Amino acid sequence: MGEFTIVGLRVVQEAARSGSFSTAAENLGYTQSAVSRQIALMEQAAGRALFERHARGVRATDAGRILLRHAETVLGGLGSARQELDELTARTPATLRVGAFSTAMAALVPRSIAATASRLARVPLREGTSPRLVSAVARGRLDLAVVTETRNIPADTEIEPLLDDPLLIAVAPDHPLADRTSVTPAQLRGERWIAGSTEVSGTLLGAWRDAAWEPEIAFVARDWFAKIGLVATGMGSTVVPGIAVPVLPPGIALVRIDHPAAARTTSVVHRGVDSAGQVFIEALRDAAADLAAEVRHRLR
């Protein structure tokens, strides 16, 4: 039998409130599969079903209502604790060393810094790849880091998911795919790609790779502005994460990739943080939810 988790309790609570796993996923900024996975883990911990599945949604079972009652107490207590910690942090501005991968630095991290500006005296930033950032957290050189890759995480490092971020194809407004809402990997065959390296397996985004074909790298550009500039002039396509959408020019067309792998989980890693760190992580969660909503609006 598994254990109850705070993330799982939040998911159960939101699913019960909305009466729908899909609505709960949208409200929390998760994919429906992530919500279903959390519900399954909570049902495993409870040893029985927590929801009755119906054609029009879900409804809590007797066991679900028992867990919800306790979830309200637990989450409410955590909310009270966070409020007290917020008040303490407000009285004592702190320094928090934050790391993040490049596209998280575009909007996610800046918005979180702005939201906590009155509570944090300084937020030294470090940009890097996820493995390097995880290593910096493990060595105590960073207090927390926003990452996408969570393999080989040290045992004493905590991982908290922020959102399941969709991967999108950015194309010029007159590109044949520009008017589509989504494409399959097969429809991307023959595209000219703009990537950070000719080694597709080692580059960060840029080109979509398929088991049936190798992408044609038309231009190599590590800088995001250079990539988008080349896309805007019709020189090729590039893969961008959803959290970068707010800083992309409005003329760039964005298309979803219809594939299970066309998403990556963005998480925050740390080795235990003080009240200032908890405040910042909460700001990251809020900013992540707002960004997920903006992506959905842009892709309508």
* pLDDT band per the 50, 70, 90 thresholds, residue 82: confident
Q: Would you mind telling me the total number of residues written for the chain in this entry?
A: 300
Which residue in this structure is represented by tokens 């044609």?
216
How would you class 162 by CB atoms within 10 Å of its CB: exposed for 0-12, middle for 13-18, buried for 19 or more? Answer: buried
What is the average pLDDT across 129-145? Answer: 93
Which one has a higher pLDDT value, 143 or 249?
A: 143
Among 79-88, 104-113, 125-134, 241-250, which stretch is predicted with the lowest mean pLDDT? 79-88
Domain containing residue 59? 6-88
What is the average pLDDT across 257-270? Answer: 91
Structure tokens at 133: 């950032």
Final residue in a domain of this structure, among 88, 122, 145: 88
Residue 174 maps to a domain: yes
Q: Are residues 269 and 125 in the same domain?
A: yes
Final residue in a domain of this structure, among 88, 110, 130: 88
* pLDDT given at position 202: 52
Q: Are residues 252 and 178 in the same domain?
A: yes
Average pLDDT over the chain reads 88
Q: Are residues 160 and 268 in the same domain?
A: yes
Contact 195, 220 (CB under 8 A): yes
Angstrom distance (rounded) from CA 164 to CA 299: 16
Kindly report the CATH number assigned to the domain that includes residue 171: 3.40.190.10
Q: How many domains does the structure of the chain reveal?
A: 3
pLDDT at 276 over 90: no
What is the average pLDDT across 151-166? Answer: 88
Angstrom distance (rounded) from CA 245 to CA 292: 10
Beta strands 253-257 and 182-183, pairing class: parallel
Task: Tell how far CA 230 is from the center of its chain.
Answer: 26
Which ranges in the chain belong to alpha helices (H)? 6-18, 21-28, 32-46, 62-91, 108-115, 130-138, 224-232, 275-298
Angstrom distance (rounded) from CA 63 to CA 178: 48
* pLDDT band per the 50, 70, 90 thresholds, residue 92: low
Among 176-190, 192-206, 218-232, which stretch is predicted with the lowest mean pLDDT? 192-206
Structure tokens at 285: 């969660």
Question: Among positive and negative, which fits the CA dihedral 5, 7, 8, 12?
Answer: positive
Q: Are residues 190 and 225 in the same domain?
A: yes
Which one has a higher pLDDT value, 93 or 16?
A: 16
pLDDT at 88 over 70: no
Structure tokens at 195: 């990537």
Residue 1 maps to a domain: no
* pLDDT band per the 50, 70, 90 thresholds, residue 183: very high
Q: Which of 82, 85, 88, 25 is nearest to 58 (CA)?
A: 25
pLDDT at 111 over 90: yes
